[in-house]
Chains A and B, each alone.
Chain A
């Protein structure tokens, strides 16, 4: 785990780190080629926003001096969906996102997110995008091979990836019936981080699917079973790589979901961020049927390069400031 940190002055003395940064650039270029080749438009949306994301477990950094109370975005989702409504049916963005009090081997307050949306599509199309993207990008870097090292065993990234529902994963790895567990959110996440996540994606990546409806603020519910949402996450080597879903298009339902999140924030004494009214207006104009996915770029680079910590693949981490 020991890693020699480097300062601005000693850049030239860190050949290994420089090689990592060259590979990081190659990975970003490969990601852009993947989307550009399919006619996606790369967009840029604001980092300084009025509504940084309402989900109950996301906290934002407040920005001083930008007029009205503003925040750094925790995700570019609201603005990107406004662009879908405005008439760009395939968009992607590689941007910085900021989340308060998140620091660890897999977390930095400031990190790089790849987020993309596809119309007309649903979560199945987005899962296919994800597995193809990751395999192609890894192959570009590792001379055509889609195998990566992995902490427990070598991992083959070749699509298609396994899919397992949240309920089945809790049964299999935590020996727990999800219906008995909910709505105790803390117990759910405690078992998720202790028992389930470490077992996911050890030899092949896996999509965890069908999240409880209450844990999918912006996702469409499964028409066949409205207790769960059409939301997925990909796990590789026990590491959460992305979060995607079939997007919720119903403005009334979206308002109710936001109220629900705000109630939860209130109950736990957290700041109640304002609802993005222009996002709601956009849904009222009509969001096409679409799916979106948000993928942690730093973590993808970690996995492809076999790094142990997220700060190993960043030019400067928080401790290098």
Chain B
């Protein structure tokens, strides 16, 4: 069991059978009053963020979470299918369960699948993923310095702002934590 004093960002707890991750927290106490910890918690099943206030000393059940490295193999009936390459076990996740992470699901990519009570609830992609540009305005030759940006659509449907010199067909390194362009990959 955790207590309010164990609360820190990223801590995973479960409330009424639902896993939550602590997004933010703050100790509050009126001078002569009762001490509380106010929290912002992200529902790990739905992504919804809720606010809860706990009295100091209240206890929490840890969320029974497990991560398993699996390979994304294909999409079938709008379900993303992942496979454990050692055991060949397969699991499926819907587009909603993946959220924005669906934009990094390139064939064959290895991801960490998050399991809650043995059921898959989401994935964590690698911090960097290489994705090909499928459409963008033509690049300007010679403009490799700083300057403006333009939108580009990548092979998974992700839209990012890229430097003006980027062309269709090129491969980009994307930071999945910020969903942003980091550099061009020479192939």
Contact = CB atoms under 8 A, between A and B. Distances in A.
B22 to A, nearest CB: 15
B32 A215 contact: yes
Contact of B26 (A55, A104, A192): A104
Given A102-B27, A105-B27, A107-B27, A190 B36 contact: yes
A57 B27 CA distance: 15
B185 interface: no
A101 B35 contact: yes
B184 interface: no
Given A193-B53, A194-B53, A102 B33 contact: no
Interface in B1-38: 5, 26-36, 38
Contacts of B33: 57, 188-189, 192-193, 215
A57 B38 contact: no
Given A185-B34, A215-B32, A243-B32, A190 B53 contact: yes
Given A101-B35, A185-B34, A193 B28 contact: yes
Contact of A102 (B26, B35, B38, B53): B35
Interface string A47-89: 0000000010110000000000000000000000000000000
Contacts of B5: 101
Interface string A161-198: 00000000000000000000000011011101110010
A42 B53 CA distance: 40
B56 interface: yes
Interface string A224-236: 0000000001000
Contacts of B26: 104-105
Contacts of B38: 193-194
Contact of B31 (A186, A190, A243): A243
A55 B30 CA distance: 13
A240 interface: yes
A137 to B, nearest CB: 20
Given A190-B53, A194-B53, A107 B29 contact: yes
Nearest to A211: B32
A58 B27 CA distance: 15
Contacts of B29: 57, 102, 104, 107, 193
B102 interface: no
A263 interface: no
Nearest to A192: B30
A195 to B, nearest CB: 10
B106 interface: no
Interface in B28-68: 28-36, 38, 53, 55-56
Nearest to B56: A101
A102 B56 CA distance: 10
B29 to A, nearest CB: 6
Contacts of A101: 5, 35, 56
| Nearest 7 CB-CB pairings of A with B | A104-B27, A189-B34, A189-B33, A193-B28, A243-B31, A55-B32, A57-B34
Interface of B: 5, 26-36, 38, 53, 55-56
Given A101-B5, A189-B30, 5 more contacts: A57-B29, A58-B32, A188-B33, A240-B30, A240-B31
